[in-house]
A and B are shown apart, each in its own frame.
Chain A
Amino acid sequence: MSDRSATDDGEADHEHGHSHHLEGPGYATPQAAIEDGSREKLAYVMSLYVGTDVDAPDFVAVVDLDPDSDTYSEIVDRVELPNRGDELHHFGWNACSSSCHVDELERRHLIVPGQRSSRIHVIDAKDRRNPELIKVIEPEDVFEYDLSAPHTVHCIPDGQILISMLGDADGELPGGFLELNEDFEIEGRWDQPGDIEMNYDYWYQPRRNVMVSSEWAAPETYYPGFDLDDVEAGKYGRKLHFWDWEAGTVEQTIDLGEEGLIPLEVRFLHTPESTHGFVGAALSSNVFHFWRDAGANGGAGEYRAEKVIDFESREHPDWDMPVPALPTDILLSMDDRYLFGSNWLHGEVWMYDVSDPSNPRRADSLSVGGTFGEIREVQGRELAAGPQMLQLSLDGERLYWTTSLFSSWDEEFYPEEGERGSVMLKADVDPRAGTLELDEDFLVDWGDCPAGPARAHEIRWPDGDCTSDVWQ
C-alpha cells in the first residue's frame, strides 16, 4: 500500500522508509506546520440545502478569513454541485503531509462526498479563491462495491484516497472503506466486507502501522433522525476498531460500553510516533483517551481506552428529561497540547489541556448558542443552534465553528436552523493562558445565501489543518 516501513512492536521506526527532505505537499513535521504555515486566509465550508424546500443543490462555500480584506467574513465564492440531495458533510484533500515524500503530488483536489446521496465529487482548488468541480463519481458506481454513505476522507501515502463508508448499497450494515486512486477512480474496497459492522470516522498513524475507526450506525438508522427506540434496540455504535494499517485488517476492537455510546470523531495525536488519541462519545457525553499499552516482558501490547472527560446532563425547565451535552466534534491543536470540543445541545465550546493525555485539565469554555448558551446572538443575529464542527488555526490561536450537525437531526433539535441558516463563529485562543474569547466582530451568516438559508458543516483550510494532516 505504501513505501513506508513500520514496526509492529510498539517502537517507532524513525527512518520510516524515506528521508525528510521535503519535496511533496505539506509540512515536514507538526511543528513545521505551526512555524511555516501562514495565517488562514480562506476556508472551504460544506454548505447544504438537502432536506429543505429550497430548490438548489448543496455547495462548497469559500469564506474570506483575511481581516485586511474588504470581504472579510463573507462567502466570496460558491462551488455549486450538479445535483440536489447530496448532504455534503465531511471532505478531504487528495494529499497531505503524509505524502511529503511524493514530489509530484499537490494538495490541490478536494474530495467532497454526498453523505445522503453517496455521490463523490472532485474539486480542483488550484485557484484557491475560485475552485471548480472537475469530476463526479455517481452513486451507482459506489453501490457496485456494496457501500454507501461516504464519510471521512483522508489522503493516504502515495496518492490514494481512503473514504469511510457507513453502510452497504441498501443503507444497511456493514459499512467499510472505499479506496480511490490518484486519478480519482474507484480502486476498490479497502477492507474485507464484514471486518466491521458499523463505521464512522477514522484516523491513521503510519509510523505505528495503525488505523482507528469509530461507529455511528447504519444509514437507515441515523438518516431519518434520532430515535431513542433505536438506541434501546442497540442500533447505535459504541466500539473502537484498531486496524493493521498495512494489512487492512482489524487487530483489536474495544467496546466502550454504555458510557461510550456513539463514538464519533476520533483523533490520534499529531506527533507521528504517538499511539495516544481521543474519541468523543456523543450520546454518552464523554471523551475517551486511548493508547497502546507496552506489552509485558517486551510483548506487542494492546490498545486500551479510558473515559477521561465527562459532561453532566442539564435540566431544562420545560423539557421532560435532562439534556445530554452531545459533544459532536473534537480536535487536537497542532502542538498536541489542547483538545477542543463542541457540546452541540448544551451550546458550549471547550478546551482541555491534554499535555498529560490520561489526565485532561479543563482550561476554558465558552457558553454560546444551543439550548443553554449564555451568548444568544452575535451582531444582532440570533443563534439558532449550538457549536458543532470545529477547525483551528495551525498556530492554535483562532478556533472557528459552524452550527449544523446533520439536516434531519438539526430539524429535530433546532428546527429554526433550517429557517435561519447556519452561522460560522470564531473564538480567539490564548494557548499560553489557556483561554477562549468569542470574537464578536466575526460572523459568517448562511442565512443570507441567494437561494435561501443554508446549513454549514465541516471547515477546511486550503493548506492543511488540524483535522486533515497526518505525518508519515
Chain B
Amino acid sequence: MARTTHSSSHDVRLEWPDGRTRTIDVREDQTVLEAATCADIALPFGCRIGACATCTGRLLEVDEPDAPDGDDDRGAVDVEDAFEYRQQPRALKDRHRDDGYVLLCLASPRVDCRIAVGSSVHTELVDNPWK
C-alpha cells in the first residue's frame, strides 16, 4: 500500500477471514462503512450510532512506508491515532479499544491501514461466560 500523506483520503485494505481482500479509498470526511457502501461492498452494520458494535473491525496494520510487506502484526500502532470518530463509540469497552477494535460505522481513517472485517470480528468482543 502506498502511504497517502497530506491528502484527504486514505487507502484502507479490508480483509475477510476467508482470505478475500478489497482496498478502498476512504475520504477523511467519510466513515469506512460509507466508503465501502459506495464501492458496493457489503460490511455488517446495525445501529449506525456506535451503540451496537455490529460493524466492528480490527486494525491489523498501519502502513509504514519503510516497513516490509506481509507483516500481519499490528505492533504498537494505536487505533485511537489511526481513526477519528464521528461520535462516541459507546459499544466498545476500553479493553476492546486497547485491542485494536474499531467501529466502522463511525470511524474515518487518518492513515492508510489494513482492517479485519466481516461478522466474525464482532463475535470476538464477548465470550460465553459459562463455557
Contact = CB atoms under 8 A, between A and B. Distances in A.
A26 to B, nearest CB: 35
Interface string B73-117: 000000000000001101111000000000000000000000000
A217 to B, nearest CB: 11
A141 interface: no
Tell me if B's interface is mostly helix, strand, loop or mixed.
Answer: loop
B20 to A, nearest CB: 10
B125 A116 contact: no
Given A50-B46, A85-B46, A148-B47, A225 B125 contact: yes
Given A116-B54, A418-B119, A223 B128 contact: no
Interface string A219-262: 11001111111000000000000000000000000000000000
B51 A219 contact: yes
A84 interface: yes
Interface in B30-87: 42, 44-54, 87
A167 B87 CA distance: 16
A411 B129 contact: no
Interface stretch (A126-134, A151-159, A313-321): A313-321
Contacts of B92: 224
Contact of A116 (B52, B87, B126, B131): B52
A223 B47 contact: yes
B100 to A, nearest CB: 16
A220 B90 contact: yes
A37 interface: no
B122 interface: yes
A447 interface: no
Contacts of A188: none
B130 A84 contact: no
A141 B126 CA distance: 32
A116 B91 CA distance: 12
A328 B45 CA distance: 25
A51 B42 CA distance: 11
A51 B43 CA distance: 9
A55 B126 contact: no
B25 to A, nearest CB: 21
Nearest to B95: A229
B123 interface: yes
A241 B128 CA distance: 30
7 contacts: A117-B46, A170-B87, A223-B47, A223-B54, A224-B92, A407-B54, A412-B123
The 6 closest A-B pairs by CB, nearest first: A171-B51, A225-B126, A223-B52, A116-B46, A55-B42, A224-B53
Interface of B: 16, 42, 44-54, 87-88, 90-93, 118-119, 122-123, 125-131
